[in-house]
């Protein structure tokens, strides 16, 4: 099986032994407590799950600056996005060697992890802006990732962590949330050697379904891991439970048995476009995938990135040998009325016109579903559309 990133073994930070975890929970009760932001809590869950191996905790300011500028830590580990615990005030933990990190996303703010405090660094406004510019390609506060990063604070609390639970993800999504070691075990049990990973924060329409099948066929994959983000999104994105139900129905009815697994991970979307695409590749390698589909506007938002910037970053900025996972570069896919099937648009026969494709904007799809109108069968499987329609009519 493909090796994890930067190491021969995964290094999940979740404390698996019940007795040790109970002792740490008791210790956390008596430690200085720091309520972290949602992104830091999600980072802790990703560290707990082994997705961020070989990292052991939160980066300090110098590592964050180095990662932003050069896509590597100060000790040379290739990494595209700073993994940080950034806060506005550290008065409650000043002088502490160990602290309890409190979960902002669970009622009562229970302890999520214990952190060894190796350093506390105050960034300048200029350093924060520089990090945002490099990671997100913009400092526009209307960009959701920029807004989240710059509003969290500018004090970097660095050090390794021991994680006590998986926040709300394991409880709210017991059939979907999986750690990197669990997915590796799933791949091994299925006997798969080549595995395509598909990233999604949206329901899967026919274009997505076809893209997974095309990628599997082109690379000779034994199976696909449909790996959905379960964390915080923009306000207009579809909730994870609705996406989960829709994707499960599609795989149940339209994929061959034992060719696709539906899983999810506990992370808040960054909307960082190219840099986030590289992060996606790292943690898909950690979970055992050999290929990652990177399509049009991967991990993007609005008009901040070019349609294929998330592909060109792998070609131009990822050093040779930095990653073992391979990238399947995909074009926009849509149903061709000429061909009678879903195809990648760049592979359309000569003479194809835009009007020969069945393409609906996200706004149009939401409007149709909210009004109870059926989506074209060329665009969405009817069973999937029904689940989405029920959601939009309930919330509209």
pLDDT in tens, 187-234: 999 999 999 999 998 889 999 999 999 999 999 999 999 999 998 777
Q: Which residue has the higher pLDDT, 343 or 364?
A: 343
Give the model confidence (pLDDT) of 246-299 as tens digits: 999 999 999 999 999 999 999 999 999 999 999 999 999 999 999 999 999 999
Catalytic residue among 201, 243, 275, 381: 201
Average pLDDT, integer, range 353-371: 85
Average pLDDT, integer, range 299-305: 94
Known catalytic residue at 165: no
Q: Which residue has the higher pLDDT, 367 or 168?
A: 168
Q: What is the mean pLDDT of the chain?
A: 95
Cα 152 to Cα 313: distance, rounded to the nearest angstrom:
27
Q: How confident is the model at residue 396 (pLDDT cuts 50, 70, 90)?
A: low
Known catalytic residue at 60: no
Cα 136 to Cα 273: distance, rounded to the nearest angstrom:
7
| Cβ contacts of 21 within 8 Å, gap of 6 or more | 15, 164
Average pLDDT, integer, range 19-40: 98
pLDDT at position 238: 82
- Residue ranges of the domains in the chain? 18-167, 175-265+271-395
Give the model confidence (pLDDT) of 166-193 as tens digits: 999 999 999 999 999 999 999 999 999 9
Cα 379 to Cα 344: distance, rounded to the nearest angstrom:
14
pLDDT at position 241: 87
Average pLDDT, integer, range 98-106: 98
Q: How confident is the model at residue 367 (pLDDT cuts 50, 70, 90)?
A: confident
Q: How confident is the model at residue 395 (pLDDT cuts 50, 70, 90)?
A: confident
- What's the CATH number for 18-167? 3.10.400.10
Beta bridge partners of 155: 87, 122
pLDDT for 382 beyond 70:
yes
Q: How confident is the model at residue 363 (pLDDT cuts 50, 70, 90)?
A: confident
Q: Poorest-confidence range of 17-31, 321-335, 353-367? A: 353-367
pLDDT for 120 beyond 90:
yes
Catalytic residue among 70, 109, 148, 202: 202
pLDDT at position 351: 86
pLDDT for 161 beyond 70:
yes
Q: Which residue has the higher pLDDT, 365 or 137?
A: 137
Q: How confident is the model at residue 110 (pLDDT cuts 50, 70, 90)?
A: very high
In CATH terms, 175-265+271-395 corresponds, of 3.40.50.300, 3.20.20.105, 3.40.190.10, 3.40.50.620, to: 3.40.50.620
pLDDT at position 173: 92
346: tokens are 């760049």
């Amino acid at each position: 099986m493909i090796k994890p990133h930067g190491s021969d073994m995964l290094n999940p930070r979740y404390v698996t032994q019940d007795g040790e975890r109970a002792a740490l929970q008791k210790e956390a009760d008596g430690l200085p407590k720091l309520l972290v932001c949602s992104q830091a809590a999600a980072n802790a869950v990703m560290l707990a799950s082994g997705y961020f191996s070989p990292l052991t905790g939160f980066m300090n300011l110098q590592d964050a600056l180095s990662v932003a500028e050069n896509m590597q830590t100060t000790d040379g580990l290739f990494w595209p996005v700073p993994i940080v615990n950034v806060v506005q005030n550290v008065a409650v933990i000043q002088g502490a060697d160990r602290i309890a990190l409190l979960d902002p996303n669970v009622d009562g703010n229970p302890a999520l992890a214990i952190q060894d405090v190796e350093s506390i660094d105050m960034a300048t406004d200029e350093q924060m802006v520089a990090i945002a510019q490099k990671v997100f390609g913009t400092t526009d506060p209307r960009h959701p990732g920029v807004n989240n990063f710059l509003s969290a604070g500018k004090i970097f609390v660095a050090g390794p962590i021991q994680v006590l639970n998986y926040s709300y993800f394991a409880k709210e999504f017991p059939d979907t949330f999986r750690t990197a070691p669990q997915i590796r075990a799933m791949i091994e049990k299925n006997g798969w050697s080549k595995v395509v990973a598909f990233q999604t924060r949206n329901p899967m329409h026919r274009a997505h379904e076809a893209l997974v099948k095309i990628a599997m066929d082109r690379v000779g994959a034994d199976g696909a891991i449909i790996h959905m983000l379960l964390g915080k999104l923009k306000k207009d994105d579809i909730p994870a439970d609705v996406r989960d139900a829709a994707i499960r129905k599609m795989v149940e009815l339209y994929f061959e048995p034992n060719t696709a697994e539906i899983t999810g991970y506990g992370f808040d979307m960054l909307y960082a476009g190219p840099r986030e695409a590289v992060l996606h590749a790292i943690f898909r390698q950690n979970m055992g995938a050999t290929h990652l589909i990177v399509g049009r506007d991967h991990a993007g938002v609005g008009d901040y990135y070019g349609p294929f910037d998330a592909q060109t970053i792998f070609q131009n900025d990822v050093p040779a040998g930095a990653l073992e996972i391979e990238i399947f570069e995909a074009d926009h896919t849509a149903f061709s009325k000429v061909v009678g099937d879903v195809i990648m648009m760049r592979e359309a026969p000569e003479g194809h016109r835009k009007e020969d494709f069945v393409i609906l904007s996200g706004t149009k799809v939401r409007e149709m579903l909210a009004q109870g109108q059926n989506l074209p069968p060329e665009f969405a499987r009817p069973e999937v559309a029904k689940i989405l329609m029920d959601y939009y009519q309930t919330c509209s």
